[in-house]
Chains A and B, each alone.
Chain A
Amino acid sequence: MWPRIAELTIAAWLAASAFVFGLPESADTSVVPLAAAGLVVVAFAASRRWRLAHLLTLVVALALIGWGWARFPRPGPAAAQNAILCGLILGLLAIVPNQAMKPPLPWRPHVRGSD
């Protein structure tokens, strides 16, 4: 589960960073989507109802990268660069399976010592 824990950490930072970094006055309302993105990632990472829910974090990651990349003239303000970096890291973590250190389910019946 370490990828999900790492996602939760990034999500917490993402939600907090919406208030840490000052945004240009014209983009004040962007604080809401940034914080919301953090909360959505928390929901996906903590979800136990569907084991592939973490893949939905990829959508949030792409949205963050897109927002940070396109919303401001580049190089953008700290908040935009933070969004791009968080998006890149979340996108990386999202592809790692929940039980990454164990064999995939179809293999487990064939593996010695695997339940």
Chain B
Amino acid sequence: MSELRQHLDPTVEAPPFDYNPSSMPQRLRIGALALVAGAIALYMGFFQWGWIDSVWDPVFGNGSETVLSSEESEAMHRFIGLPDAVFGAWAYLTEAVLAFAGSTRRWQFRPWLVVLFGIDVIPLGIVSAILVVLQGVSVGAWCFLCLTTALISLVLVVMAYDEVWSALRYLHRVWRDEEGWRPAWNTFWGRPSPRAVEIAYEMTGDE
């Protein structure tokens, strides 16, 4: 192992991709987009809190206000304890924070962070987008800004999948080569076995 020390490049590409899915520019784009969606959601939350009297909607007129003050929305408010739009804003904040955290090779160094980010962005993003559409169908009115945030959620799924795929591919390789769960589990938490470090070299061609 001694010849391998100090040679892992933190900016290396992650095959099968010809780029680094954990690079800061890529993650900053994801985080910035999530923050935009979060700001939109918070703006709608201000309406649900009663801090503003109306919601801007260039397409559906007062459809946004109808959706945001619907019985379904009130039920969510009672269940969560927060307006659903504010809860959505927090969800986008989690995506941004999890996008910003971690080094530029976190798909190998901190797989837990990438997997958590993936769970946050991919399944939860798809479900939230579906819920927005179902709410529109149920209420019988549409909300332009809700649909905008749902669209952003789906764009984020596309932008985030490559890093999650790389992390899962690395963990699978460690699990397969080590023939046991414990080395893969430790690697998942950022504690690699010697073989996991070797695999990190092999996967990226670092010398």
Binding site for B on A (CB under 8 A): 3, 68-69, 74-76, 80-81, 84-85, 88-89, 92-93, 95-97, 100-104, 106-107, 109-114
Cβ–Cβ contact B6 & A92, under 8 A = no
Q: How far is the CA of A109 from the CA of B8 in the complex (A)?
A: 9
A-contacting residues, B87-107, CB 8 Å: 90, 93-94, 97, 101-103, 105
Q: How far is the CA of A69 from the CA of B79 in the complex (A)?
A: 9
Given A74-B81, A111-B8: A104 and B86 interface contact (C-beta under 8 Å): no
Residue B173 is within 8 A (CB to CB) of chain A in the complex = no
Residue B176 is within 8 A (CB to CB) of chain A in the complex = no
Cβ–Cβ contact B6 & A103, under 8 A = no
Q: How far is the CA of A92 from the CA of B105 in the complex (A)?
A: 21
A14 CB to nearest B CB, Å:
15
Q: How far is the CA of A69 from the CA of B97 in the complex (A)?
A: 24
Given A85-B86, A104-B110, A104-B190: A68 and B81 interface contact (C-beta under 8 Å): yes
Cβ–Cβ contact A111 & B78, under 8 A = no
Q: Which residues of A contact B200 (CB under 8 A)?
A: 110
Q: How far is the CA of A21 from the CA of B6 in the complex (A)?
A: 53
Binding site for A on B (CB under 8 A): 4-10, 77-83, 86, 90, 93-94, 97, 101-103, 105, 109-110, 116, 190-192, 197, 200
Q: Which residues of A contact B82 (CB under 8 A)?
A: 75, 81, 84-85
Q: How far is the CA of A47 from the CA of B80 in the complex (A)?
A: 32
Q: Which residue from chain B places its CB closest to the CB of A102 in the assembled complex? A: B103
Closest 4 CB pairs of A and B: A104-B190, A100-B101, A103-B109, A111-B8
Q: Which residues of B contact A100 (CB under 8 A)?
A: 101-102
Q: How far is the CA of A100 from the CA of B100 in the complex (A)?
A: 9
Cβ–Cβ contact A96 & B10, under 8 A = no
In this complex, the member of A85, A96, A97, A111 whose beta carbon has the largest number of chain B beta carbons within 10 angstroms is: A111
Q: How far is the CA of A75 from the CA of B110 in the complex (A)?
A: 38
Q: How far is the CA of A76 from the CA of B77 in the complex (A)?
A: 10
18 examples of A-B residue contacts, CB within 8 angstroms = A3-B97, A74-B80, A75-B81, A75-B82, A76-B81, A81-B81, A85-B86, A92-B90, A92-B94, A104-B190, A104-B191, A107-B109, A107-B192, A109-B5, A109-B6, A110-B4, A112-B9, A113-B10
Q: Which residues of B contact A80 (CB under 8 A)?
A: 81
Cβ–Cβ contact B103 & A101, under 8 A = yes
Q: Which residues of A contact B197 (CB under 8 A)?
A: 107, 110
Query: Which listed residue (B97, B103, B192) contacts A92, Cβ 8 A?
Result: B97
Q: Which residues of A contact B102 (CB under 8 A)?
A: 100-101
Cβ–Cβ contact B6 & A89, under 8 A = no
B57 CB to nearest A CB, Å:
24
Q: How far is the CA of A68 from the CA of B82 in the complex (A)?
A: 10
